[in-house]
Amino acid sequence: MVIDGLEFARRQGCLAGQLRLGALQRLNDVLFDADGHLDYEIAGEMAGNNAFLKLRIEGPLRLTCQRCLGPMEFALDVSSRVMLVESGAPWPEDGQLGGLEDETCDAIEASRELNLLPLLEEEILLALPIAPRHEACQPPVVADLSGSVSPFAQLARLKRQ
Ligand SMILES: [Zn+2]
């Protein structure tokens, strides 16, 4: 998945396919399991002299709930636009990015060998909730098999004395 970024934008290239979740190492760290795949679409476009890549990634993910550590369904749906900056060209100020409406977008250095996989993975990671949690769930109950009294029970007893 390597393209010449600027060339791709100039000829308004289009790429679509499926990403295997198992191939996305960094994403795997936050997934409950890495079965399945996401659909992606990448389109190149020009706005004035600026080159952009439009990214769309969607599909189901299973995140790990930060409270109960169980699986949590998450419907990923990312649409974003990345500006390609020619190497040597001045880096755009935040407010100058996009060039289209007031849409926020990131800029990356245009490369003749732009690897799309890390780019897509980055966009996916940015779209995930920071601390995913079910709306209602309980923390896992840790079974106390040792038979010892918990510190809280001891404290309660002390208070009663
Ligand atoms: Zn949960």
Task: Report CA(144)–ligand 1 centroid distance (Å).
Answer: 21
- What count of other Cβ atoms lies within 10 Å of the Cβ of residue 111? 15
Say how many Å lie between the CA of residue 72 and the centre of ligand 1: 7
Write out the residue range of the structural domain in which residue 14 sits.
2-160
What share of the chain has pLDDT > 70, as a percent? 81
For residues 34-50, give the mean pLDDT.
93
Rounded to the nearest angstrom, the distance between the alpha carbon of 70 and the centre of ligand 1 is 6
**pLDDT at residue 90, rounded to an integer:** 79
Mean pLDDT, residues 50-65 taken together:
95
Cα 75 to ligand 1 centre (Å)? 16
The protein residues having their C-beta less than 5 angstroms from ligand 1 (an ion) are 65, 67-68, 134, 137
State the chain's mean pLDDT as an integer. Answer: 86
Q: 122 pLDDT band (50/70/90 cuts)?
A: very high
- The total number of structural domains in the chain stands at 1
Q: Separation of 139 CA from ligand 1 center, angstroms?
A: 7
The answer, yes or no, to whether residue 19 has pLDDT greater than 60, is yes
**Residue 20 structure tokens:** 């295997």
**pLDDT the model gives residue 103:** 57
Q: Is pLDDT above 70 for 100?
A: no
Residue 31 CA to ligand 1 centre (angstroms): 14
pLDDT-based confidence at residue 102 (cuts at 50, 70, 90): very low
Per-residue pLDDT tens digits for 143-159: 666 655 565 665 566 66
